[in-house]
Structure 1
Amino acid sequence: MLSNYLKIAFRNLWRNKTYSAINLFGLAFGIATCLLITFYVIDELSYDRFLGHADRAYRINTDINFGGSETHTAASAAPMGPALAQAYPDIEAAARIRDQAPGMIRKGTEKIQERSVYADSTLFDVLGLTVLAGNSKTALNQPHTVVITRRMALKYFDTPEAVGKTLILNENVPYKVTGVIEDLPRTSHLNADLYFSMLDHADSKENSWLSHNYSTYLLLKPGVSPQQVEGQIRQLFLKHGGPMIQQWLGKNVAELEAGGSYVRYTLLPVPDIHLHSNRVDEMNPSGNIQYVYIFSAIAIFILFIACINFMNLATARSAHRAKEVGVRKVLGSASAHLIGQFLTESILLSFMACSISLLLVELALPAFNQLADKQLSLNFIRDWYLLPFLLTFALFVGVLAGSYPAFYLSSFEPAKVLKGKLTAGMRSGWLRSSLVVFQFFASVFLIICTLAIHRQLNFIQQKQVGFDREQVLMLDGVYGPQVQALKNEILRIPGVQSGTVTGYLPTPSWRGNDSFFPEGEITPERAVQMQTWYVDPDYMKTMGLQLLAGRNFSNQMATDSSAVILNETAAKLFGYTSPTGRKIAEIEDPQTGRTRQLNVIGVVKNFNYESLRENVGALCLLLNAKPAGYATFRLKTQQLPETVAKIEQTWQRVLPGQPFRAQFMDEAFDSIYRSEQRVGKVFLSFAITAIVIACLGLFGLAAYSAEQRTKEIGVRKVLGATELQLVALLSSDFVRLIGIAFLIAVPIAWYVMDQWLEGFAYRSSLSIWIFVGAGAASLCIALLTISSQAIRAAAMNPVKSLKSE
């Protein structure tokens, strides 16, 4: 029986080559798109699942509200981790990471910048990292020791057996390699290749419970709940941090919390860091669980659209197979046999489509990886589960896509079929109409989302952010005594207008907040949380900042070492109507309450130094006594490549062997929104895919409708209807369905995009033209698809339409 089903199925597919090809490639295109999204979602969900203790490893997150300013950080206090591990038996081990480690390594005469952190030796056991050589428990227990990845061992020593060898830092400081760990996969929130001993970081031994600068990880014992440990963290903070707060502010923690201030600690499972955390001081750029949900929904949408397309194309051919069904029934075929025949054809087509989809996926993966910033690959040996999954997937799609045509075709009554009396027209096909509505609902929804995302990204790129980021070149990794010499040499280049040296730029970077108070009012109610940037006198000119009041820093004035320039937000929070000449106090040591007085010499116009998702926060500029970090220069627009080449030559002359790393500031600014840019491009690709597949289904349904109304069209032509009127008649039903899809899609798309835009402090509006444009685009595409069938039916000779019975 099965062989007979397959034989007939192949014959039918071969007989209707055009129909089969459209159906086959439409389904293959939809399955390929669904598979690509599935690979993307699986990759996003796999972050940090490789860790040996992924089920018991947690990171401490900190939420602080003080002085009306909220901070959500992935860091905690330096003594927090060790004290927890010592005080509570529920915690098996604790480890800290600090990301300010030296990363410039010497290799012969070459200097190479590597990704590095300071870490406790317990880190490898807490996270369950694979240690290839060395003792993980003691590898970093001595100063000037380092644990490296296998990749670094091969790079610097040409062998993974690197324990006992020495790495030389740029400052000619030797570090002994005491351990080698397996390379971390890309799907990890950690991004370091060098782990230096935490003992080499001076602040790691400090006992301040009010400064939060260390990523702290805990390994809980089996069966211990994170909520239980969160309570223990609070107890420990009250024991050690409470007295510091009392000494600092003269109030205890309960009194602070009664006034709305608080310090709260929560535990986040390490595998959730990538998708569920976007805090200050993240080790790596985070993903977004919302995008995983959205892309998963889009995958389901596109798969359904492809299946709907199959259903519509199958039923569009029903008239050609109606007599076959009638003859089979007259000759004794049961409905079950007919259903089996049609399901066999559907499943066969699905397996063929899945096979083609694998080829399409292989061809599309390079472009998709570039689009989504992934490194996905199709590997049946590594991903052994893929083949059985695809076989099951093909069977499921075949049954899903073929069920409706199978039951629909097998239900024909032989007498009516053989007389040619099939029920015709769109009005009777409520299910097919519903499917078309769903298809175009998905298409309109994706078009609206794509237009809204691109409008917001354009808004961001064109918004005045308070500084001039055009033609500003940033040189990274400038430290030591040569920095001023480098700046002076580059300023002599004709194409360079101005330059500054600072580690603080309005580009993606982590910076902490410090507490300041109006002079003589050191109380929690008057506290102002501000970012503190150390700059030189040329900073404002190079960045294009606007001074609203007072003056800039000057190297000629010794008193400027205790001077400060506030931004507008900070001046407002201090309550100063005329800030210049006033004083503010900074807490230098929270443990002793020691303060220093700063003279306000100016106010700078607010500029967006963070993402446009955030309002401009309080900021102050201080004169940097030892500039370091970035050498940044404003260049003239003429002969830009030549100027950059001369800057690189100067760099190599002043800093021989040190890698030249340069980036324009507008590129760094745009990188803040790289994930949104990727999402916009992916949305556009998926919207085009959905429309193409939907139009294939619409093409089939238009052919079906025209075929079923052949006699009606003939009668209307005989009675004087013009071809234009007939085209309008045949198109009206589809236009009505697309209108219904548009009305359903608009409020849902508006809600989804409005929620997405809520994440931006500075946002574009959801203009009515976005919705009108999406509807018009969908309608035009649909009408172009329908028109070929409608015009063909309207142009048919009525004599041929009416003579057959």
Structure 2
Amino acid sequence: MLQNYLKIAWRNLRNHKFYSFLNIFGLALGLASCLLITLYVIDELSYDKSFGHAERIYRINADIRFGGADMSLAVAPDPLAFTLKKDYPQIEQVVRLRENGSQLVRRAEAAENLKEEHVVYADSTFFKVFSVPMLMGDAEKALKDPHTVVISETDAAKYFGAENPIGKALIVDNSQTYTVTGVMQDIPAQSHLRDMNMLLSMSSTEESRLGGWGSHNFNTYLLFREGVDPVQFEKNFETVLQKYTAKWLVSFLGASLDEVRKSGSYLRYTLIPLTDIHLHSDRTSEINVNGNIQYVYIFAVVALFLLTIACVNFMNLATARSANRAKEVGVRKALGSERSSLVSQFLTESVMLSFFSLALAVILAYAALPYFNNLAGKQVSFPIQKVWFWAALLLTGGAVGMLAGSYPAFFLSAFKPLKVLKNSVELQGKGGYLRNGLVVFQFVISVMLIVGTGVIYRQLNFIQTKKLGFNKDQMLIVNDAYALNNQVKSFKEQVMRIPNVESATVTSFLPTPSSRTDHTFFPVGQMEQDKGINMQKWAVDYDFVKTMGLQIANGRPFQEEFPSDSAGIVINEAAAKVLGYADPVGKRIFGYEDAALTQKVTYTIIGVVKNFHFESLKKNIGALSLVLYRSNGNVVFKLSGGNVAQTVGQVEQLWKKMAPGQPFSYRFMDEDFNQVYRSEERVGKIFITFAVISIIIGCLGLFGLSAYTAERRTKEIGVRKVLGASVANIVTLLSKEFLRLIIIAIVIGIPISWFGMNQWLNDFAYHVDLAWWMFVAAGALAITIALLTVSFQSIKAALMNPVKSLRSE
């Protein structure tokens, strides 16, 4: 019986090549898109799950409101980790990590440095918390001693080749010697700790032992014992605050914890599961740029929509062509076929078509995978060696075939043989409402994707063109200026002689993205806790304001002719507002230079710069201060244009002359700025890609339906033409039914898309407004696409010779 079903199914597919192609290709597009997005979602959901006992590892987050600033931090104070381990037996182990940024590294005997992008300080307990396999060395002792380092297998090959690196020396930052005590396996790419190829022993930095309860600098992880409920454990943080932080507040502010809270300020610690960090955490001082669970949800819904649209196409075309198979059903029933056997036959055809589509979908997805990886910034691959992958594909193919073919099968098999054979069955009415509803559903989704794409790209254009309050174009950043040692000033002056260079500044602090250094300041003589202001403090030189293009709102910038500027400070308008000064110039404030809060420094405000966006546009502009201090992280040059490549070449020649053996590394500030919004840019590109695919799939179905409609009404068209109807009249007649459905889809889709995009824009403190014309444009585009699709078949039918269609009567 099955063999007979397959034979009939193959015959029908072969005899109706046009409709078979539309069904197979449309379904394949939907399946291929769904497959790619599913691989993306699986990759995103797998982060940090490869670590042993990952379900028992949690990170401590800090939420702070103080001095006019709200901070959401992924870091905690340095004493907190081991204090918790000492006081609470529920904790099996703890580890702290501190990001050290990029560093220049070389073997002790080598002449040239290599740039290491992701150097991190780590406690010796790292391998007890994170089950990263140690390939060489003893995990128990590897990071215990000061100035020891554990490197990844990638770094071992990079620095030592085939040699055994254990016991050998690496020079970090051209100044500190570290002994290699271990080689670990590369941390998986699906981890928020990815790219950590070099772990320096935490005991090498004095900042790990200062004991400051107010200085938050360490990513802190807890490994709980079996059976401990982390939600219940969070309640212990209040005890910690009362026992330890309260004492620090009294010594620092002279105020109790309760008094601080009564003023509206607070400090809260919470826990986040390790496996939630990548998708659910976007805090300051994250170790890596994380993903976004909203985008995972969005892509999953898009995948479901695309697959649904493809299934809708199948159902539409199958029910639309029911007239062509009505007599077949009538004859089979008259000859004794039961309805169940007819259902089985039609489902067999549907499943066969589904598997043809699935095979084509796998080919399409495999071919598109490199493009998709580039689009999504991923390295996903087909898990072809996994049994579950092939099992899932087979189940999907069968399920899609059954789902897409279920309604047509029951619809066709329900025909009454007597009425069918007498041509008295109402075929159009039986499936018409469903087909119309499915067409509307398809274009509702298409309209939503079109609107979403438009809003995302308009927001990205807004970000690119918004006046940020600083120069970002033609700004050349030369990295690792500390490699020049005492020649930084000379290097800056010599580069300034190059014709295309307008100005230059030496600093570690840039607005795209910035290095965050939060400090608390008080007006002189007013160290009450409600008088404090929390703001960032950037170390800059005399030329920073000029080079960065900052505007002075009051007072003046730093000037070399004023020696007293070494004790001066420039603040932004946001800081002046929090301080409550109508005229801040000449006012004195003080703060502390160290985490232990022992080195008090007083500054005189000499100027106020206009607010500029030194953080993402997702955040409001906060308080910021500039102080004169040597900070040789980067040398930034403002270029006037001209031959940029030639200018960079001249700068590189000077670098190699003044810093032999040090790698020359540069970037442009607009590239840094764009990197901040890379995820939104990728979402926009993915959106437009799948919006186009959804429209293509929808148009394939619409094309098939319009072809069928024209075929069904051939004789009517012939009569109308004989009676004098023009081509325009015929095209209008055949198009208006579909146009009505598209307008209904627009009316439904626009409010849904407005709500969804309004929610997305709320993530930005600065964003575009949802203008009415954006929705009108989306609707007009949907109508245009639909009319172009339908008009092809309508014009073809209208131009047909009426004699041919009427001769068969």
Provide the TM-score with structure 1 as the length reference. 0.97
CA contact (8 A) 1:446 1:687 kept: yes
Give the Cα separation in 1 of the matches to 2:541 and 2:330. Answer: 90
The residue that corresponds to 2:166 in the other structure is: 163
Output one character per residue of 1:256-301: Cα deviation in whole Å (capped at 9) or x when no partner: 1122111000011111111000000011111100000000000000
Give the Cα separation in 1 of the matches to 2:173 and 2:11. Answer: 73
Give the Cα separation in 1 of the matches to 2:4 and 2:397. Answer: 21
1:226 paired with 2:230, answer yes
What is the CA-CA distance between 1:210 and the residue it aligns to?
0.6
User: What is the aligned counterpart of 1:254 among 232, 252, 258?
Assistant: 258
CA contact (8 A) 2:90 2:228 kept: yes
Give the Cα separation in 2 of the matches to 1:282 and 1:104. Answer: 22
SS at structure 2 position matched to 1:481: helix
What is the CA-CA distance between 1:658 and the residue it aligns to?
1.4
1:242 paired with 2:246, answer yes
The residue that corresponds to 2:601 in the other structure is: 596
Deviation larger for 578-587 or 296-305 = 578-587
1:436 paired with 2:429, answer no
What is the CA-CA distance between 1:575 and the residue it aligns to?
1.3
1:325 paired with 2:332, answer no
The residue that corresponds to 2:453 in the other structure is: 450
1:784 to 1:421, Cα distance in 2 relative to 1, 3 A: farther
CA contact (8 A) 1:440 1:694 kept: yes
Amino acid at match of 1:213: N
1:44 to 1:101, Cα distance in 2 relative to 1, 3 A: closer
Q: Please report the RMSD computed on the Cα atoms of aligned residues, expressed in angstroms.
A: 1.8
CA contact (8 A) 2:342 2:409 kept: yes
Give the Cα separation in 2 of the matches to 1:426 and 1:541. Answer: 75
User: What is the aligned counterpart of 2:112 among 110, 123, 129?
Assistant: 110
What is the CA-CA distance between 1:198 and the residue it aligns to?
0.4
Give the Cα separation in 2 of the matches to 1:155 and 1:693. Answer: 48
| Map 1:275-424 → 2, pairs under 5 A | 275-381=279-385, 383-424=386-427
Output one character per residue of 1:476-495: Cα deviation in whole Å (capped at 9) or x when no partner: 11113232232122122222
The residue that corresponds to 1:639 in the other structure is: 643
Give the Cα separation in 1 of the matches to 2:302 and 2:152. Answer: 38
Q: Extract unaligned runs of 5+ from structure 2.
A: none
Number of positions where the alignment pairs a residue of Structure 1 with one of Structure 2: 803
Deviation larger for 184-193 or 581-590 = 581-590
Output one character per residue of 1:553-599: Cα deviation in whole Å (capped at 9) or x when no partner: 12343321110011111111111111111111224467667643210
1:481 to 1:150, Cα distance in 2 relative to 1, 3 A: same
After TM superposition, the runs of 4+ consecutive aligned structure 1 residues lying more than 6 A away are none
Amino acid at match of 1:113: K
1:544 to 1:426, Cα distance in 2 relative to 1, 3 A: farther
The residue that corresponds to 1:132 in the other structure is: 135
SS at structure 2 position matched to 1:336: helix
Give the Cα separation in 2 of the matches to 1:406 and 1:568. Answer: 70
SS at structure 2 position matched to 1:646: helix
1:81 paired with 2:85, answer no
What is the CA-CA distance between 1:496 and the residue it aligns to?
1.3
Give the Cα separation in 1 of the matches to 2:310 and 2:163. Answer: 50
Output one character per residue of 1:357-378: Cα deviation in whole Å (capped at 9) or x when no partner: 1111111011111111011112
Q: Extract unaligned runs of 5+ from structure 1.
A: none
The residue that corresponds to 1:754 in the other structure is: 758
User: What is the aligned counterpart of 1:555 among 557, 560, 584?
Assistant: 560
SS at structure 2 position matched to 1:374: coil
Give the Cα separation in 1 of the matches to 2:423 and 2:375. Answer: 52
Give the Cα separation in 2 of the matches to 1:611 and 1:162. Answer: 41
What is the CA-CA distance between 1:710 and the residue it aligns to?
4.0
1:62 paired with 2:62, answer yes
What is the CA-CA distance between 1:768 and the residue it aligns to?
1.2
Amino acid at match of 1:337: S
1:144 paired with 2:147, answer yes
Provide the TM-score with structure 2 as the length reference. 0.96
Give the Cα separation in 2 of the matches to 1:89 and 1:133. Answer: 32
1:428 to 1:171, Cα distance in 2 relative to 1, 3 A: closer
Amino acid at match of 2:74: A
The residue that corresponds to 2:529 in the other structure is: 524
1:465 paired with 2:468, answer yes
Deviation larger for 639-648 or 787-796 = 787-796
The residue that corresponds to 2:30 in the other structure is: 30
The residue that corresponds to 1:676 in the other structure is: 680
1:488 to 1:533, Cα distance in 2 relative to 1, 3 A: same
Identity of aligned residues (%): 51
User: What is the aligned counterpart of 2:479 among 476, 480, 486?
Assistant: 476
Give the Cα separation in 2 of the matches to 1:426 and 1:201. Answer: 79
The residue that corresponds to 2:624 in the other structure is: 619
What is the CA-CA distance between 1:715 and the residue it aligns to?
4.9
Amino acid at match of 1:122: T
CA contact (8 A) 1:312 1:698 kept: no
Give the Cα separation in 1 of the matches to 2:474 and 2:802. Answer: 70
Give the Cα separation in 2 of the matches to 1:40 and 1:472. Answer: 35
SS at structure 2 position matched to 1:55: helix
Amino acid at match of 1:380: I
Amino acid at match of 2:475: V
1:146 to 1:267, Cα distance in 2 relative to 1, 3 A: same
Amino acid at match of 1:477: D
Output one character per residue of 1:523-581: Cα deviation in whole Å (capped at 9) or x when no partner: 22222111101100011111111112212212343321110011111111111111111
The residue that corresponds to 1:570 in the other structure is: 575
Deviation larger for 546-555 or 279-288 = 546-555
What is the CA-CA distance between 1:130 and the residue it aligns to?
1.8
SS at structure 2 position matched to 1:284: coil
Give the Cα separation in 2 of the matches to 1:98 and 1:238. Answer: 26
SS at structure 2 position matched to 1:109: coil
The residue that corresponds to 2:790 in the other structure is: 786
Give the Cα separation in 2 of the matches to 1:522 and 1:672. Answer: 37
CA contact (8 A) 1:167 1:176 kept: yes
Amino acid at match of 1:561: S
What is the CA-CA distance between 1:61 and the residue it aligns to?
0.3
1:402 to 1:592, Cα distance in 2 relative to 1, 3 A: closer
SS at structure 1 position matched to 2:234: helix
Amino acid at match of 1:147: V
| Map 1:671-750 → 2, pairs under 5 A | 671-717=675-721, 720-750=724-754
The residue that corresponds to 1:515 in the other structure is: 520
Amino acid at match of 2:481: V
1:42 paired with 2:42, answer yes
Amino acid at match of 1:354: L
Amino acid at match of 1:516: F
Amino acid at match of 1:602: G
User: What is the aligned counterpart of 1:119 among 118, 122, 125?
Assistant: 122
Amino acid at match of 1:376: V
What is the CA-CA distance between 1:698 and the residue it aligns to?
0.9
SS at structure 2 position matched to 1:37: helix
Deviation larger for 40-49 or 729-738 = 729-738
1:496 paired with 2:501, answer yes
CA contact (8 A) 1:209 1:237 kept: no
Give the Cα separation in 2 of the matches to 1:731 and 1:611. Answer: 48
SS at structure 2 position matched to 1:429: helix
CA contact (8 A) 1:280 1:510 kept: no
SS at structure 1 position matched to 2:480: strand
User: What is the aligned counterpart of 1:765 among 758, 769, 789?
Assistant: 769
Deviation larger for 432-441 or 401-410 = 401-410
1:591 to 1:670, Cα distance in 2 relative to 1, 3 A: closer
SS at structure 2 position matched to 1:584: strand
